[in-house]
Amino acid sequence: MSISPLAPAWLSYPEDANALRPIEWAGGVARTGNGELAVQGIGVAELAKEFGTPLFVLDEDDFRARARGFKQAFDAAFADLCGGVDVYYAGKAFLSTEVARWVTAEGLRLDTCSGGEMAVARVAGVPAANLSLHGNNKSVDEIRTALEIDLGRIVVDSLDELERVALLARETGKRANVMLRLTPGVHASTHEFIATAHEDQKFGLSMIELGEEPSPAAAAVSYALTHPELNLLGLHAHIGSQIFEAEGFELAARKLLSFQAEIKNKHGVELPELDLGGGYGIAYTEADTPREPAVLAAAMADVVAATARELGISIPRISIEPGRAIAGTSTFTLYETGVRKTVQVQAEDGTLSPRRYVSVDGGMSDNARPVLYDADYTAVLASRVTESEPIVSRVVGKHCESGDIVVRDVYLPEDVAAGDLLAVPGTGAYCWALASNYNYLGRPAVVAVRNGAARAIIRRETEADLLARDLGA
């Protein structure tokens, strides 16, 4: 066997299919002496036996270290500019009460974007002042709750919403802390960012003037500054996801600071805060080349300092909102393999070439990202090591969809067989959070490993759970 013509250009033929690329795995993951994959010394066979499969296996120490790492790196880079950075963990990536407690204990704050996420944070005991509320269509109830609990900040997404927040603030007798989410015309993803007016989407207030009319962003600032029930803290932008380079963040920072200078000229006010959003990328496969937080923080700090100096404005307190870069790599999904199938596929050169399909006991219900975003993942045989030749394989789920793919392209050992355990790294963000009950599969448990001990932080859904809301059952 050798390089398959079916392999995409980025996928290299593995010298050793048992090897782990460290950048894709949590810090506590390694193979033990007998070759089994383990987290902090706990083997996957034991985890599968105790908690079942599919299973989200989360290295809590790794998660916390990444949370702490962001806070420390950005604090260090911005210490002399604005005294440090407020890091809001984007809860939508993966949230449970335990996770909310971890990020709080590590000195982070928490982004929520629904009543449900706020409820998790409150049950976890996160101080309301540490919470923010996002969303392009917040309900009256969600806004009212935020006001009643004195939530730290509401990130307002439109003029309609700003008026609604003002109305509800008057009604509840509260002063609303608001940030304004703008669309700075920068849209970034992975290696590329498009510095054009990315206007055609649902989020944020446009910065483009409409003839003689001020831009929606400028109108929102005027409105907020003339309504005393609104406490305008600052501007916000979130430019995309899975971003590797600093340029997109730098460009957004420049645009927001320039707007901040315009606000100063027009209204004589210097807004005290500025949020540069999330989107820091991680390594899902060997094709991904994320930067260390310290590298990005240093680049962003330089741009913020230089731009503020040029514009003659003071530097606002900076905040950021990483989600994936904290949760993503902390977790792998453990599956048990079942049916294998080998098909002959016509390669581009016309020759037939084998592709191995390896079915697992989960699929698009526990990882919707390949279906939703064409996302790539990798996988390794976890229950053992083998000398068997690698073959181009596709890891598929058990759902009634041919698009039910977990890993589109990976070289797996030929002898992977029913009953083996397979691990897919990088599933800590937007996997459990996007999980469904398609085909009446129960959603998997999440197990956290800390100090060499494993415990479930979310239990597996049972058939009783699946039937619990069926009023005819």
Ligand X SMILES: *Cc1c(COP(=O)(O)O)cnc(C)c1O
Is 442 marked as binding a ligand?
Answer: no
**Which of 82, 113, 400, 431 is flagged as catalytic?**
400
The residue among 321 and 409 lying less far from ligand X, judged by its C-beta, is 321
Q: Does 277 bind ligand X (CB under 6 A)?
A: yes
Selected from 187, 324, 398, 443, the binder of ligand X by CB under 6 A is 324
Between the CA of residue 31 and those of 36, 382, 395, what are the distances in Å?
5, 8, 21
Q: What minimum distance in Å lies between the beta carbon of 135 and ligand X?
A: 9
Q: What minimum distance in Å lies between the beta carbon of 166 and ligand X?
A: 22
Interface map 105-134 toward ligand X (x if CB under 6 A): ------x----------------------x
Is 213 marked as binding a ligand?
Answer: no
Taking the C-alpha atoms of residue 175 and residue 146, their distance in angstroms, rounded to an integer, is 11
DSSP conformation class of 72: H
Q: What minimum distance in Å lies between the beta carbon of 155 and ligand X?
A: 7
Q: Does 293 bind ligand X (CB under 6 A)?
A: no
Is 373 marked as binding a ligand?
Answer: yes
Strand partners, 205: 182
The residue among 390 and 428 lying less far from ligand X, judged by its C-beta, is 428
The label of the residue with tokens 């090591």 reads: 385
Q: What minimum distance in Å lies between the beta carbon of 130 and ligand X?
A: 15
Taking the C-alpha atoms of residue 354 and residue 237, their distance in angstroms, rounded to an integer, is 46
Q: Does 25 bind ligand X (CB under 6 A)?
A: no
For every residue of 267-307, DSSP letters joined together read H----SEEE----B---SSTT--PPPHHHHHHHHHHHHHHH
Q: What minimum distance in Å lies between the beta carbon of 373 and ligand X?
A: 12
Stretch that binds ligand X, among 61-69, 298-306, 317-325, 349-357 (CB under 6 A): 317-325
Is 277 marked as binding a ligand?
Answer: no
Helix (H, G, I), strand (E, B) or coil at 60: helix
The residue among 44 and 232 lying less far from ligand X, judged by its C-beta, is 232
Between the CA of residue 416 and those of 15, 64, 423, what are the distances in Å?
17, 33, 12
Q: Which two tokens stand for residue 440?
A: 């009446």
Q: Quick check: is 82 catalytic?
A: no
Q: Does 187 bind ligand X (CB under 6 A)?
A: no
The residue among 111 and 414 lying less far from ligand X, judged by its C-beta, is 111
The residue among 216 and 248 lying less far from ligand X, judged by its C-beta, is 248
The label of the residue with tokens 């994320």 reads: 290
Neighbours of 418 (CB within 10 A): 11
The residue among 92 and 144 lying less far from ligand X, judged by its C-beta, is 92
Q: What minimum distance in Å lies between the beta carbon of 94 and ligand X?
A: 9
391 CA to centre of own chain:
31
Is 273 marked as binding a ligand?
Answer: no
Q: Which two tokens stand for residue 129?
A: 């002042």
Q: Within 236-255, which residues bind ligand X (CB under 6 A)?
A: 238, 241
Q: Does 138 bind ligand X (CB under 6 A)?
A: no
Q: What minimum distance in Å lies between the beta carbon of 183 and ligand X?
A: 12
Contact, 185 vs 255, CB < 8 A?
yes
Q: Does 432 bind ligand X (CB under 6 A)?
A: no
Helix (H, G, I), strand (E, B) or coil at 441: coil
Helix (H, G, I), strand (E, B) or coil at 413: strand
Q: Does 336 bind ligand X (CB under 6 A)?
A: no
Q: Which two tokens stand for residue 418?
A: 């029913």
Q: Does 322 bind ligand X (CB under 6 A)?
A: yes
The residue among 174 and 324 lying less far from ligand X, judged by its C-beta, is 324
Q: What minimum distance in Å lies between the beta carbon of 105 and ligand X?
A: 20
Q: Is the peptide bond before 54 cis (omega within 30 degrees of 0)?
A: yes
Contact, 147 vs 174, CB < 8 A?
yes
Selected from 66, 68, 92, 144, the binder of ligand X by CB under 6 A is 92
Closest CA to 94 of 68, 112, 108, 109: 112
Which residues lie closer than 8 Å to 221 by C-beta, 6 or more apart?
Answer: 180, 232, 263, 267
Q: Does 321 bind ligand X (CB under 6 A)?
A: yes
Is 369 marked as binding a ligand?
Answer: yes
Stretch that binds ligand X, among 22-30, 271-279, 365-373, 395-403 (CB under 6 A): 271-279
Selected from 323, 362, 390, 413, the binder of ligand X by CB under 6 A is 323
The residue among 51 and 280 lying less far from ligand X, judged by its C-beta, is 280
Neighbours of 401 (CB within 10 A): 13
Is 324 marked as binding a ligand?
Answer: yes
Q: What is the CA radius of gyration of the chain?
A: 24
Is 401 marked as binding a ligand?
Answer: yes
Q: Does 355 bind ligand X (CB under 6 A)?
A: no
Taking the C-alpha atoms of residue 33 and residue 323, their distance in angstroms, rounded to an integer, is 34
Taking the C-alpha atoms of residue 453 and residue 258, their distance in angstroms, rounded to an integer, is 50
Taking the C-alpha atoms of residue 294 and residue 291, their distance in angstroms, rounded to an integer, is 8
Q: Within 50-79, which residues bind ligand X (CB under 6 A)?
A: none
Q: List residues forming the annotated binding site for pyridoxal 5'-phosphate.
A: 279, 321-324, 430
Q: Which residues are catalytic?
A: 400
Contact set with ligand X (CB under 6 A):
90, 92-93, 111, 134, 238, 241, 277-280, 321-325, 429
Known binding-site residue numbers: 279, 321-324, 369, 373, 401, 430
